[in-house]
Amino acid sequence: MVRLNLILLVVLAACALGLVTSQHQARRFFGELEQEQERSRQLGVEYGQLQLEASTWAVHARVERIASRQLHMRVPEAKHLQIARPEEAAK
């Protein structure tokens, strides 16, 4: 009887310690999850800002300005144009 009680006591203590460690772990994991979620939010914000920046750099007026002033690009004249029609290409 006494031996059984002692064994049960040991089992109980083991269970209790197990509970404590798993609870601790759960909290630690939760903390990590929180951090990762925060990071994902931050990255989302950064993505938005980068998108904004990309759109700002790619504004058509700016692209056009650079194309015509810096790169000296222009629309070709009529005599330099040759239209390739799909039906002709098929022949």
Catalog residues that contact other proteins under the rule CB under 8 A. Answer: 26-27, 30-31, 34, 44-45, 48-49, 51-52, 54-56, 58-61, 64, 78-79, 81, 83, 85-86
| Shortest Cβ 16–other proteins spacing (Å) | 20
Measured from the CB atom, the residue of 18 and 24 that comes closer to other proteins is 24
Alpha-carbon dihedral angle through residues 15, 18, 24, 30, given to the nearest 10 degrees: -100
Max Cα-Cα span within the chain? 110
Measured from the CB atom, the residue of 9 and 29 that comes closer to other proteins is 29
The answer to whether 74 and 68 are in contact (CB under 8 A) is yes
